[in-house]
Amino acid sequence: MRQRSETVRKSPSVAAHEDSPGDTVFIARQPVFNRRLTVCGYELLFRSRPSAEANVSDDLAATAHVLRTTFLELGLSELTGGLPALVNFAAPHLIEQLPLLFPPQWLVVEVLESVAPDPPLYEALLLLRGHGYRIALDDVTTVDLPDPFLRLADIVKVDFLALTSEQRVRTTHSLRNRCSRGIRFLAEKVESRTDMQEAHAMGYHYFQGFFFARPELRSGKTIPSHKLTLLQLLREISNPEFEYSRLDRIIKADVGLTTKLLTYINAAAFPWSRRIESVKQALVLLGESQIRKWISLVTLGEMASDKPLELVRLACFRGRWLELLHSRLREYTELECFLVGALANLDAILDVSLEEALERVSPPEAVVTALQGGDSRLGNALRSALAYERGDWDQVVLWATRAGLQVEELSRTYRESLAWTEKLFSAGT
């Protein structure tokens, strides 16, 4: 199911702009992690339209349009939750000082690997540094970088996918010896836990890629008893035959879950005239749809307590995203749409294979088919969403078409889901 991260198309080149200012902008984000595996920023991936062919006639004007629309209309804080955004710029954008449109504390200027390191570019980057912008050299695979540009850089992004282990060590060692003391190294396109551990051991400061979405397979891996209780809850809410009494028994057997539920139900957002003290009463008041969603979020969060927070955030975001597409996927229930998104990285949360994870949760058959890559509208909707996250716009069009979705719908619901997730996590789950 999982696509390799080399499919990410990060060039800011976009289709020749012939559209009006109100056109849809397609944008996705990819998290950047620090050494504590917490998210410290997002790389933004965008195009003005997800066409299969770029047909660029005015790269500068087209990209400037996308940047202005994205940051000034959608809002950078909505897209990144207040964290810095890493954005690719081609040479004309840098020479024209396009990054000056945006506050330096919000933006890391990425210099594409295709940009020629000539004197005009050096002067442009020097001016941006003077205004407080951080500079990142993107997709580095060679040591043949001019010293003046290395001295300007705050971050060097080394392409792990393009290098062998030996080349990674040699490239990192050589560049580090030539760089200033304060420079930071970012390992990008990190595909596996082994890659991540290798980068960590070499002293990399930041990591980017899909390592967190892959399980670490171990022979005879077992799940602690607390997680078994959470799995039991997930099985219950995946069961079309919803029973409050069974949920009541499971939740009351866990003091932590009971406390979380009563804290949630007694929050100021609910208009109860008196405090709710009973688990069963809380379940009835919330109703089937709301309690299914609450349990999904809480159980996934608890099971991933030893994983990067972004893994849980991603599960919540994807669940909400697919749920919002339910109106166009009417042959599936809202629950099935939500579960497909929320469980898409369950293997990474449990550190087992996807097949084993699904066997333990036992979601509806339509969900299993979609998650295992089966040919269904729900599965195609999930694949289009995952492609959108990567900024792989050709695949977005392919899978969205097969799912019967409009790409504009994906763009709109993507932003709505981001806003919902940021609000959810800022308030706490």
Question: Do both 270 and 138 map to the same domain?
Answer: no
Higher pLDDT, 407 or 228: 407
pLDDT tens-digit readout, 171-205: 999 888 887 677 899 999 998 888 999 999 999 99
Total number of domains constituting the chain: 2
Question: Do both 340 and 402 map to the same domain?
Answer: yes
Query: Could you say which of 178, 213, 248 is where a domain stops?
Result: 213
> The domain that contains 70 carries what CATH number?
3.20.20.450
Strand 107-111, strand 206-209: pairing: unpaired
Question: Do both 326 and 417 map to the same domain?
Answer: yes
Q: Is residue 231 part of a domain?
A: yes
* Cβ 115 vs Cβ 141: under 8 Å: no
Task: Check pLDDT > 70 for residue 87.
Answer: yes
pLDDT value, residue 74? 61
Question: Do both 201 and 236 map to the same domain?
Answer: no
Query: What residue has token string 């940021």?
Result: 422
Q: Is residue 83 part of a domain?
A: yes
Residue 313 domain boundaries: 225-427
pLDDT above 70 coverage of the chain, percent: 81
Q: Is residue 219 part of a domain?
A: no
Q: What is the maximal distance between C-alpha atoms in the chain? A: 72
Q: Which two tokens stand for residue 416?
A: 């709505």
Task: Check pLDDT > 60 for residue 299.
Answer: yes
Query: Could you say which of 166, 192, 213 is where a domain stops?
Result: 213
Which residue from 387, 369, 300, 359 is spatially nearest to 332, judged by alpha carbons? 369
Question: Do both 263 and 399 map to the same domain?
Answer: yes
pLDDT band, very low/low/confident/very high, at 230 (cuts 50, 70, 90) = confident
Query: How many Å apart are CA 112 and CA 207, to the nearest integer?
Result: 18
pLDDT value, residue 50? 63
SS3 content of the chain, % helix, strand, coil (to 5): 55, 10, 35
Which residue from 157, 215, 210, 216 is spatially nearest to 389, judged by alpha carbons? 210
Question: Do both 77 and 27 map to the same domain?
Answer: yes
pLDDT value, residue 428? 53
* Cβ 305 vs Cβ 290: under 8 Å: no
Q: Is residue 220 part of a domain?
A: no
Task: Check pLDDT > 50 for residue 3.
Answer: no
CA angle at residue 162 from 160 to 168, to 5 degrees? 50
CA 24 to chain centre: 20
Query: Once rounded to an integer, what is the mean pLDDT over residues 352-359?
Result: 84
pLDDT tens-digit readout, 122-171: 999 999 999 999 999 998 888 877 888 888 899 999 999 999 999 999 99
* Cβ 275 vs Cβ 401: under 8 Å: no
Question: Do both 245 and 387 map to the same domain?
Answer: yes
Question: Do both 64 and 164 map to the same domain?
Answer: yes
Q: Tell me the pTM.
A: 0.75
Question: Do both 254 and 191 map to the same domain?
Answer: no
Query: Once rounded to an integer, what is the mean pLDDT over residues 267-277?
Result: 72
